[in-house]
Amino acid sequence: MASPIEEWVEESARLTTPKKIVWCNGSESQHHQLIDEMLADGTLIGLDSKTYPNCYLHRSDPSDVARTEQITFICSRLQNDAGPTNNWMSPADAKEKVSGLFRWAMKDRTMYVVPYLMGPAESPYSKVGVEITDSPYVVASMYIMARIGRVPLERLGNSADFVPGLHSLGDLSPDRRYVLHFPEEKLIWSIGSGYGGNALLGKKCFALRIASWMAREQNWMAEHMLIVGLTGPSGKTHYIAAAFPSACGKTNLAMMVSALENEGYKVTTVGDDISWMHVASDGTLRAINPEAGFFGVAPGTNKKTNPNVMTAVRSNSIFTNVGLTPSGEPWWEGINGAAPAGTIDWRGRPHMGGSELVAQANSRYTVPARQTPSISPRFEDPEGVPISAFLFGGRRARVAPLVYEARNWAHGVFVAATMASETTAAITGQTGITRRDPMAMLPFCGYNMARYFGHWLEMGPKIPRAPRIFHVNWFRKGADGKFLWPGYGENVRVLKWIVERVEEKSDAVETPIGFVPTREALTLDGLDIQRSTIEELLRVDPADWIAELDSTRQFFGRFGPALPQEIWKQHEALQHRLSRVTVPAS
């Protein structure tokens, strides 16, 4: 008798009619064969084998370079279960519309069946997914981003407990591109895109949209968060999980080289994008990183901003939509000075200088997590790491100070729910528009966000040793339009203050929005920064925050009666606290 996975593969093959089916067993030999085929047909370009051994460049279709939110749908039976912030189609409508696009889609192609495990091999919290795809680039990327082949198959056995994801490049036409989630069936369908979050179905589709739905039902949390360890001079390590929207600094913070290393503060990396968290028997909230690799933004990455990545990507990595130097090395804006003469741009054309980008703004590297020099010794810890603090933050040129601490859990949930950020190149569309992005989950919450806020509010009291909640903003700008804070490795100074707050050791001043460090409480030794700049970074301007109240009221209004009353209570309380401080005459 066919197993559930075999049955689903057969059913998918009847629909898409591939010329051949290949089961990916995770072996090196199969991996090499796949790479060789892609080198032969131009899907991959080999990089210099001395300086970048086993590294490849892939150029995607120029219309297919980022996640596309307009074509991403939650197909729950009830529209209300998807909520006002998600696109919705009924499961029946979605299947009728999109099965036509899948029909015969793999006619002249190979169908790859990729069983994968999200999470460490031995973890009780890990979950199996199976992706069917006709893109060998997706398969090669899944080899890096997840645990492929035998491990998930052995775990699965004859069980039907896996998340199926059917993916086809289709004809790559943006008009026939869909990323569909059927949360009740735990099923994913994606067609028409070969790009990262649209096509590597273990990542955003499973580990966030489907998993967030499961997590609410099962009392755990699936979040768009990096996980980082900060070890202090005493040798104790605190783990911090941080939610920043796409292209707002998760990977960089997760892999940062601490500017306070000489003072004994060291940073280790557990995850850079997704965190699955469960309440453990010791009362802590334990986090695992479901991924096995990092899919990071290339532009801006260099030896100074992220030396760990620069070391890690020197082997076994795939680069997507970056430039290619004449010596066969990858190149992107910000890597190191000007592009060498003869560099080919991300579209495969000679770069003529001028303002045209060599690397696409959302070009990326895909690198095995284990290659990162900063990887945490507990990266594969089956029980996960205990989280001491949550950070939330986005790109805010104004308003939000460098860091502040929420008053308590419920206030922290409100702070996270009112997060906002300027849009980036990680999504298709205009960049630089400030939008509300609660918990950095706006594009990734697989159900009604009002209920998601409720889930967050309910989780706090269930965690005896709950993380403290903070908000950070590395992106505040001065009157000259430049960032006020140096960021990157210097962010450790903020993490240090956060950990000291957790240990009840550092000072803060109470403001209407929460607790802000005193200037003295931040360790600034060795940093060339003016006193007035620090003051500006920590400034809480009541007038700005009163304006925020209007914007958040409008945003929360979209959820109608489904919004937990606690959120409105927090909104009122903030308004009240703001009304008590005198607004300085401008």
Q: Does residue 179 interact with ligand GTP by CB under 6 A?
A: no
Catalytic residue chosen out of the listed positions 24, 75, 205, 248: 248
DSSP state for residue 353 in the 8-state scheme: S
> Residue from 152, 196, 271, 368 that binds ligand SPV (CB under 6 A)?
196
| CA–CA dist 386, 278 (Å, integer) | 10
Q: Does residue 135 interact with ligand SPV by CB under 6 A?
A: no
Q: Does residue 394 interact with ligand SPV by CB under 6 A?
A: no
Please count the CA atoms within 13 angstroms of the CA of 116 that sit on its side-chain side.
33
Question: Please, which residue, 5 or 208, has the CB nearer to ligand GTP?
Answer: 208
| CA–CA dist 448, 459 (Å, integer) | 17
**b/e map 343-369, b = 16+ CB within 10 Å:** bbbbeeeebeeeeebbbbbbbbbbbbb
Question: Please, which residue, 138 or 494, has the CB nearer to ligand GTP?
Answer: 494
> Residue from 310, 426, 439, 484 that binds ligand SPV (CB under 6 A)?
426
- Smallest CA-to-CA distance from 91 within 82, 83, 102 is with 82
Question: Please, which residue, 249 or 517, has the CB nearer to ligand SPV?
Answer: 249
What DSSP string runs through 295-312? EEE-TT--TTT-HHHHHH
Those residues whose C-beta lies under 8 Å from the C-beta of residue 550, and which sit 6 or more positions away, are none
Q: How far is the CB of 492 from ligand GTP (least distance, A)?
A: 11
Q: Does residue 58 interact with ligand SPV by CB under 6 A?
A: no
Q: Does residue 258 interact with ligand GTP by CB under 6 A?
A: no
| CA–CA dist 387, 275 (Å, integer) | 11
Q: Does residue 296 interact with ligand GTP by CB under 6 A?
A: yes
Q: Among residue numbers 294 through 323, which ones bind ligand SPV (CB under 6 A)? A: 295
- Smallest CA-to-CA distance from 140 within 34, 49, 23, 20 is with 34
Q: Residue holding tokens 């000291």? A: 500
Residues composing the chain: 586
Question: Please, which residue, 387 or 426, has the CB nearer to ligand SPV?
Answer: 426
| CA–CA dist 488, 334 (Å, integer) | 14
- Tell me the three-class secondary structure of 91-141, residue by residue: HHHHHHHHHHHHCCCCCCCEEEEEEEEECCCCCCCCEEEEEEECCHHHHHH
Question: Please, which residue, 182 or 444, has the CB nearer to Mn ion?
Answer: 444
Q: Among residue numbers 482 through 511, which ones bind ligand GTP (CB under 6 A)? A: 483, 487-488, 491
Other Cβ atoms less than 10 A from the Cβ of 330: the count is: 24
Q: Total residues contacting ligand GTP (rule CB under 6 A)? A: 22
Judged by beta carbon distances under 5 to 8 A according to partner kind, the member of ligand SPV, Mn ion, ligand GTP, none in contact with residue 197 is ligand SPV
> Residue from 64, 223, 273, 291 that binds Mn ion (CB under 5 A)?
273
63 burial type by CB count under 10 A (0-12 exposed, 13-18 middle, 19+ buried): middle
Question: Please, which residue, 69 or 566, has the CB nearer to ligand GTP?
Answer: 69
Where helices occur in 126-280 by DSSP H, the ranges are: 136-145, 150-156, 196-199, 211-218, 250-254
Q: Residue 205, Cα to own-chain centre: how many angstroms?
A: 11
- Smallest CA-to-CA distance from 171 within 66, 45, 61, 74 is with 61
Tell me, residue by residue from 200 to 219, as one string, x for binding to ligand SPV by CB under 6 A and - for no binding. ---xx---------------
Question: Please, which residue, 60 or 305, has the CB nearer to ligand GTP?
Answer: 305
Q: Is 75 a catalytic residue?
A: no
- Residue least distant from ligand GTP (Cβ): 487
Q: Does residue 136 interact with ligand SPV by CB under 6 A?
A: no
Q: Does residue 396 interact with ligand GTP by CB under 6 A?
A: no
Q: How far is the CB of 426 from ligand SPV (least distance, A)?
A: 4
User: Which of the ranges 242-250, 376-384, 428-436, 539-547 carries the binding residues for ligand GTP, by CB under 6 A?
Assistant: 242-250
Other Cβ atoms less than 10 A from the Cβ of 399: the count is: 18
Q: Does residue 23 interact with ligand GTP by CB under 6 A?
A: no
Other Cβ atoms less than 10 A from the Cβ of 24: the count is: 22
Q: Among residue numbers 233 through 252, which ones bind Mn ion (CB under 5 A)? A: 246
Tell me, residue by residue from 245 to 274, as one string, x for binding to ligand SPV by CB under 6 A and - for no binding. -x--------------------------x-
- Site residues (CB under 6 A) for ligand SPV? 67, 196-197, 203-204, 246, 273, 295, 426
- Site residues (CB under 5 A) for Mn ion? 246, 273
Point out the residues that are catalytic.
248
- Site residues (CB under 6 A) for ligand GTP? 244, 246-252, 272-273, 296-297, 299-300, 305, 426, 474-475, 483, 487-488, 491
